[in-house]
Amino acid sequence: MIFGIPLQALMGQLLVGLINGSFYALLSLGLAVIFGLLRVINFAHGAQYMLGAFTALLLLTVGGINYWLALILAPLIVGLFAALVERSMLSRLYKLDPLYGLLFTFGLALAIEGTFRYFYGASGKPYAAPPQLSGAVNLGFMFLPIYRGWVVIASLAVCIAVWLLIEKTKLGAYLRAATENPVLVQAFGVNVPLLLTLTYALGAGLAGFAGVLAAPIYQVSPLMGSNLIIIVFAVVVVGGMGSILGAIVTGYLLGVVEGLTKVFYPEASNIVIFVIMAIVLILRPAGLFGKEA
Amino acid sequence: MRHFLLTTAAVGLAATPALADLSDGKVKIGILNDQSGVYADFGGKYSYEAAKMAVEDFGGKVLDAPIEVVTADHQNKADIASNIARQWYDTEQVDSIMELTSSSVGLAVQALSKEKKKITINTGAATTELTGAQCSPYGFHWAYDTHALAVGTGGALVKEGGDSWFFLTADYAFGYSLEENTGNFVKSQGGTVVGAVRHPLASTDFSSFLLQAQSSGAKVIGLANAGMDTQNTIKQAAEFGITQGGQKLAALLFTLAEVHGLGLEAAQGLNLTESFYWNRTPATAEFGKRFKERTGAMPNMVHAGTYSAVTQYLKAIQAAGSDDPDAVSAKLHELPVNDVFAENGKVAANGRMISDVYLMEVKKPADVTEDWDYYKVLATIPGDQAYIDPAQSGCPLVK
């Protein structure tokens, strides 16, 4: 017993927190990549997450394409859509104040969500988990749905892969260099605009991937992203704007903190992340992993 | 001569009461509800459509004056709703506001309308407070309330042996009201309430709350929430093996719209209470089909209830010969409600419209022969049993 909560229940809640943290980590990673390299505050991230889930749903209902293929195809489709948006519209705003990028992506999110709400209503549609991952295992202290276990593994793997891509590969080095000094990198013959488009597509694709992962757990609905996006922004701020490792670690960490709050004081579970954000901003304005400017 | 003129004037007035007694020469009804959030399918723009249908079926005119329906989205926020209501009353000549999904909104707008002497007919909110301590001489409550849901779904499950309950409750006025009503009813039937957990409105993940409900060991987990929150709870409860573990889920406020969104695979076997089902009688089926042609969806009790409320309001204006709120309110209290929604419904002194409610079971996917035919009607609960006895409601208007 810890503070009147049975240890078994506490273990269960820790695990649940880790599962939710997986979504926070994946989504805040995408945001951090886009902000870190493009200096764009991507308010369309929630909409791109929702698009991922809906793409999986449409692939299944219209094309008969199963979950496993959708897990690869949907992020690619969302990434492609994002690349088009970046090329045709967003890239024109780089020269302006970052506020314009924020306003543009916010408007874009509203337009996408409004369109889906028009066609699908607010209740949305169900998406079944793949048969290989349905069912649950009894861990003794809790009943773990196999699908949720898979979510933790898949998101962890993708997070590590993206971190390696950006920190350890040649492409990642170009990307980082392009943000530091785009003119110099271009002078070395690197196609900087293409790099930026790819980066935005990668960030959006990560959101789409999280959307497909989320589809069997939550109702696939036009509002699924807007309910989550504010929390994810808080995660990015706590982790340090633009810090990739910070986004990942903070995502899992805050998922766990939120899970524990649901046990000790459930009414506060919606605001605990923001309370932490406020405290971090006061003590370390650059975030836990951010570099002081 | 002077006498003659007065007489003709008086005769003229009596012959055309519409022009004389209708404020600003038309009747304007506002449908105010959630059109973009968690309750957008529960009521939403389809309620607006139902109101327009009622106006068309009435002939588009009452006392020779045109009828207009306007609508707005209150985003489930009581302050936004109050601002819209104030603007409608003060500058746009709206005569009455209806639907008002979400209990906090319903209470706020009813209080404002009481002060402004305007009629509200609530078809979307659930709290019994509307016709309890906070009742209003101009406020009416149609379609359902938390007491009717408690008696319907709670009663059925206790009868089947589900005598220990744990509540998963939405953290605002509606959730408390539903939890309290159901809890009291369960206790009055000899059951016990072992605990409750409150979750914020529009949560996405319910697994923590579900684990707490699971470890409580209660036989029934009462879901005192609504809309998408309930859908997500039911979906995630299946993941955590709650029903396989022998615990039963009671979706206390769940309508056809949410069953459709959730899908029968996850919803089958659920017990729920509604005051309307489109496939109950030939008349309701005819109404349902007309509604579906316009909206693409079958109506739930909120949509059909809004149709009934608008119709009854127009009937009351006609009977009163005026849209004066005091006269219309008197007629609304007096006239029986007989339409596609209610048979021999009556409005009590506290403003509660009392008509039958139905206990349903969601069919198995294999048993559905027709699109949207999701329910089996298990029992009819007479209105007098479903709703609080007006004398016990705590409403000061009941003497």
pLDDT tens readout for residues A72-126:
999 999 999 999 999 999 999 988 888 999 999 999 999 999 899 888 877 778 8
What residue numbers bound the domain in which A249 lies? Answer: 7-283
B179 in a domain, yes or no? yes
Work out whether strand B271-274 and strand B357-362 pair parallel, antiparallel, or are unpaired: antiparallel
Mean pLDDT (chain B, rounded): 91
Among residues B317, B384, B330, which one has the least CA distance to residue B357?
B384
Question: How far apart, in whole angstroms, are the C-alpha atoms of residue A184 and residue A188?
Answer: 7
Asked if residue B168 and residue B50 are part of one domain, the reply reads no
In a domain, B257, yes or no: yes
Least CB–CB distance from A218: residue in B171, B232, B257: B232
* Helices A170-180 and A192-214: angle between axes, nearest 10 degrees: 110
Q: What is the CATH number of the domain that holds A145?
A: 1.10.3470
Looking at chain A, which residue has its C-alpha nearest residue B257? A123
CATH assignment of the domain containing B363: 3.40.50.2300
CA nearest to B245 within chain A? A143
- Position B14 pLDDT exceeds 50: no
Residue B249 maps to a domain: yes
Longest dimension (CA), chain A: 64
To probe the interface with B, which of A262, A271, A274 has the most B CB atoms within 10 Å?
A262
A230 inside domain = yes
Distance, CA of B219 to CA of B86 (rounded, Å): 46
ipTM: 0.74
Give the residues across from B359 on adjacent strands.
Answer: B273, B379
Chain B partners of A117 at a C-beta cutoff of 8 Å?
36, 40
Q: Of B203, B215, B266, which is closest to A9 when you measure between CB atoms?
A: B215
Over residues A14-49, the pLDDT tens digits come to 888 898 899 999 999 999 989 888 889 999 999 999
**Chain A residues within 8 A of B171 when measuring between CB atoms:** 266-267
Question: Tell me, what's the pLDDT at B3?
Answer: 56
- Does B58 reside within a domain? yes
* Domain count for chain A: 1
Total number of domains in chain B: 2
Condensed to tens digits (0 to 9), the pLDDT of residues B59-80 reads 999 999 999 999 999 988 999 9
> Whole domain around residue B347: which residue ranges?
28-144+281-355
Q: What is the pLDDT of residue B2?
A: 53
- Other C-beta atoms closer than 10 Å to the C-beta of A229 total 24
Distance CA A127, CA B194 (A): 33
Average pLDDT over residues B107-113: 97
Q: Is residue B395 part of a domain?
A: no
Contacts of B40 in chain A (CB under 8 A): 117, 121-123
Contacts of B211 in chain A (CB under 8 A): 9, 12-13, 16, 142
In a domain, A293, yes or no: no
Tell me which of A263-277, B140-154, B320-334 is least confident: A263-277
With bands split at pLDDT 50, 70 and 90, how would you rate the model's confidence at A3?
Answer: low
Do B222 and B156 touch, CB atoms closer than 8 A?
A: no
Instruction: Examine residue A174 and state whether it is found in any structural domain, yes or no.
Output: yes
Whole-number percent of chain B with pLDDT over 90: 75
In a domain, A1, yes or no: no
